[in-house]
Structure 1
């Protein structure tokens, strides 16, 4: 078997190893595959005749990993296949091409260190540094970071996520790559990897056991999941039916929340209800009658938090969260600030037009909203929840986060599950409870330590009614931001170049 494998061209072996790595990502979480794929890439890079050959092998690995991990992007094209059928072969591979360039840099760069633990350290440090780089402009797509492989269900997943409060998911990625790459450093390397894993588990368990008291409780929150297929949302003839579905579900959910409030003996606790991204099939800020009908059906609600498209003073569209007050007036509005490249806006690097109408206009930036007498919250619209360290207004920390999204574009695939786990990590990093209202699912809520509170699965029309817990004090990461994983990654990478200890020479 080994001889047959070695006869396979190196570039093809790299693609296979990369695709194998994708099995570690949510929702599969087959973590042991990384103990094969990551050392395999390090070996392929070391066997290359030059840094160019190593770069090519790393690039092929990245194409395999990201294409397999992002296969669901094609579903979004198929929703409007009549217009964009020609993009089907390029959706996942096109995004993967850009990301794979960074894996090529990692593979080529790690050759600067000698084989063994030094190469492993440089490889892991470079991997984390390139992940940090792709969080910002041009790439702006920190999806499927390897640290997210630990966001698995159950107690172990919660424990393994806790260090994200100090070093974010990027730090978890660094630890993950160090452990996965440890076989490339021999028996001592594997022993060191085992020790790192044990310390990680101990640190996570200790943090859970020693969590400080929570802050003031949040509102009674009703998450409304309409389960409207994207094809129906695109059909303007279905607009009234969609609206009625959301009004009916909101009325049911708010009534249930009011009954829960009575049972809890908390008459002053405000009730808020949230609709997903672009759930309102029109322009809610201009539709007074729609707001009046809605709020008449939810008399116990202090406010509605509704995803809706709106047009600004210049006539350009914005992807927004519109708050509606009990008198049906419009309260504070949040406009999505971090738009999806090629989906909501057209990057300047593309010489031809893909996004219809020129795309949307981004909002001015993150905001903390106060509405209905509830504790302040930070709105995040869809894609915005995947950016570590960039989900909270640094000058006005909220008490909880609300992520509204429409993952119907991606079907019942890995995409919505990966998105959900990214949002969960933001709760741990910031020490804030996070609630998520998704059109077709998965709607869910997590407390400030990332522990699941409630969940409504894919493809179900319904509501989640939950008393939102309070926040934790600001975490180390929420105070220092990306400087934490950046400094840690640089230190690990530089350790590869520490002077070697000279062995003592016995003199005769």
Structure 2
């Protein structure tokens, strides 16, 4: 018989919200990893002991509300930048987004009940959790923020080691491993020993890859990352557009002078998203001023762009003579930030952007083969390089001033680190208020410019590694492993009469 839960009603609801909130503390930048097994086990046991599949689904939903509300608390800061207009949205920012994605956690809470107790349920829970988490890319324009695999992106060398298997499994494969390991810890001494043994092998594999990775014989340019630290209120209002432009020009001149004085690799200047306070493709004089400040180096500059009735969030490559060498229009837009999904019957956005045609690889003088991206696009595992046109380095420009000095910019930065490991490519992350950083092709941080500083960072862009297993096969690998877990959970090992009640096995 199915046992009854020790708590019910509001106590049960509070327990599930708390379990989800505790599990969220395992995410960057807190990395309280020991809380993840506790939170997941509470959800798993409550789902097992629920009186019906509906109660299990409700518990999964509440866990998701706690997890995503805490993990995405920083979304409230974006509303505060325009609080005079949208003050009424403040209490609903992170809970509202959590409300949309929490139902994905209902599925593992239900499906683990349709198989016999024991390892089958663990496999079903872990496999279905990962499949549903991967499915978040199909929600609106996609919202795969904070997969559990990012928990392993610990600071420094420890994190470098732990995330190396992403070169094969991707971040979703890391999520699958974490869920399996978290639940196995509570299945007795032998299972705990097995988790320890796998962890040792995991660390050994990561250490081996770090020590044996041999970069390709490709020399990328030197990055001059310009971080203007312009407050978001000024970005929106253009209150001091001229002054902010001059600040960026001054920092550019400082960085270019330093890069040329040091010699070595040719530099490329990189401004962040919203770096130029206007329409750069229509402003020849501004491009010439940027070119002069860059002292002959090409520049990548974030700017809005208008074409007919369409508005784009763009990255514009400015040649040394001030002409436009290339334009990339952001193709993955932020739901509720850059476009409004159909789910809201009223308008909360001052304007709606148009998505670009898709990812590109530029091969430009002084830059080499670079894959340009704008902000949100870096979070999509397996979708950061143009198909069949692999670049030698990736650049993503961003403006995380929206989210203040919170977990948001740090979680965003962590996605760039994970993409570097998955693709075997160095990632350059340029941000208006920080954090700006450069990761080599193993996800090791080689340079950083902290939050809230107006400064310039000059550092070489590391060479790429050969294509990784994940870069060849993408998310098919973690998806196949997750489905395999679910299939194994359904395969019977002995004949036994089963009693099914609304799809729930009574064991």
Fold conserved (TM > 0.5)? yes
- Counterpart in the other structure of 2:350: 356
Structure 2 portions without partners, runs of 5+ = 497-507
Partner of residue 453, structure 1: 446
Report the 3-state secondary structure (helix = DSSP H, G, I; strand = E; otherwise coil) of the residue aligned with 2:299.
strand
**Which residue is equivalent to 2:485?**
492
Instruction: Quote the offset at 1:4 in angstroms.
Output: 9.9
Instruction: Within 5 Å, give how 1:301-340 maps onto structure 2.
Output: 301=297, 303-312=298-307, 314-340=308-334
**2:294 is aligned with 1:298:** yes
> What is the aligned length?
492
Instruction: Label 1:108 to 1:5 Cα distance change in 2 as closer, same or farther (>3 A).
Output: closer
User: In structure 1, how many angstroms separate the alpha carbons of the residues matched to 2:14 and 2:141?
Assistant: 25
Q: CA deviation at 1:212?
A: 2.8
Task: Name the structure 1 match of 2:339.
Answer: 345
What is the distance in 1 between the residues matched to 2:300 and 2:367? 12
Find the residue that maps to 1:9 and give its secondary structure.
helix
Among 155, 158, 167, the alignment partner of 2:157 is: 155
Once residues 119 and 141 of structure 2 are traced to their aligned partners in structure 1, the CA distance between those partners, rounded to angstroms, is 30
Give how far 1:354 is off. Answer: 2.0
Q: Aligned partners of 2:385 and 2:213: how far apart in 1?
A: 21
Matching of residues 327-406 of structure 1 within 5 Å = 327-357=321-351, 359-406=352-399
Classify the secondary structure of the residue corresponding to 1:496: helix
Q: Indicate if the aligned counterparts of 1:63 and 1:100 stay in contact, CA closer than 8 A.
A: yes
Q: Is the 8 A contact 1:26 1:418 kept in 2?
A: yes
Matched residue, 2:14: 12
What SS class does the counterpart of residue 403 from structure 1 fall into? strand
**Equivalent runs, 1:195-210 vs 2, <5 Å:** 195-210=197-212
Call closer, same or farther: CA 1:321–1:327 in 2, change over 3 Å. same
Hey, what does 1:115 align to over in structure 2?
Answer: 117
Partners of 2:268 and 2:366 within 8 A in 1: no
Distance change >3 Å, CA 501–CA 204, structure 1 → 2:
farther
Equivalent residue in structure 2 for 1:288, among 279, 284, 307: 284
TM (norm. structure 2) is 0.94
More displaced stretch, 114-123 vs 329-338: 114-123
Q: Decide whether the 8 Å contact of 1:116 with 1:186 is kept in 2.
A: no
Tell me the CA shift for residue 118 of structure 1: 1.6
C-alpha displacement at 1:150, in angstroms? Answer: 0.7
Distance 1:471 1:501 in 2: 51
* Post-superposition CA distance 1:23-76 (Å, at most 9, x none): 100000010011211111101101110111000001000000100010000100
**Shift in CA distance, 139/46, structure 1 to aligned 2, threshold 3 Å:** farther
1:265 corresponds to which residue?
A: none
> Residue 225 of structure 1 contacts residue 439 of structure 1 at CA under 8 Å; is this kept in 2?
yes
Contact 1:258 1:300 in 2 (8 A): no
2:183 counterpart of 1:181:
yes
Tell me if structure 2 keeps the 8 A contact 1:271–1:300. Answer: no
Cα gap change, 1:25/1:182 in structure 2, threshold over 3 Å: closer, same or farther? same
In structure 1, distance between residues paired with 2:113 and 2:203: 31
Mapped to 2, the partners of 1:11 and 1:139 lie a distance apart of: 31
Post-superposition offset of 1:421: 0.4
Q: Does 1:462 align with 2:450?
A: no
Return the alpha-carbon distance in structure 2 between the equivalents of residues 215 and 477 of structure 1. Answer: 21
* 8 Å contact from structure 1 (residues 405, 438) kept in 2: yes
Query: How far apart are the structure 2 equivalents of 1:139 and 1:284?
Result: 27
Are the counterparts in 2 of residues 336 and 380 from structure 1 also a CA contact under 8 Å? yes
Segments of 5+ residues of structure 1 without an aligned counterpart are 262-267, 504-508
Distance 1:271 1:139, change over 3 A: closer
Q: Tell me which residue corresponds to 1:420.
A: 413
Helix, strand or coil at the partner of 2:362: coil
Q: Aligned partners of 1:317 and 1:458: how far apart in 2?
A: 29
User: For residues 455-494 of structure 1, what are the alpha-carbon distances to aligned partners after superposition, in whole Å with 9 as ceiling and x for unaligned?
Assistant: 1110011111111111111111111111111101111222
Q: 2:271 aligns with which of 258, 265, 275?
A: 275
2:249 to 247, 250, 256: 247
Give distance in 2, aligned partners of 1:373 and 1:413: 35
1:352 match: secondary structure: coil
Q: Distance in 2 between matches of 1:110 and 1:194?
A: 24
SS of 1:108's equivalent in the other structure is helix
Q: Would the aligned equivalents of 1:55 and 1:105 in 2 still touch at CA under 8 Å? A: yes
Query: How far off is 1:396 after superposition?
Result: 1.0
Instruction: Spell out, residue by residue over 1:339-379, the C-alpha distance to the aligned partner (whole angstroms, 9 max, x if none).
Output: 0011101112322222223x000000000112233321001
- Structure 1 segment 93-104 matched on structure 2, within 5 A: 93-104=95-106
Is the contact between residue 272 and residue 372 of structure 1 (CA under 8 Å) also seen in structure 2?
no
Contact 1:143–1:386, Cα closer than 8 Å, also in 2: yes
**Higher mean displacement: 227-236 or 69-78:** 227-236
Stretch moving more, 474-483 or 204-213: 204-213
Q: Pick one of 72, 79, 91 that aligns with 1:77.
A: 79
Per-residue deviation at 1:502? Answer: 8.4
Aligned to 2:331, the other structure's residue is in SS state coil
| Structure-2 separation of matches of 1:113 and 1:471 | 45
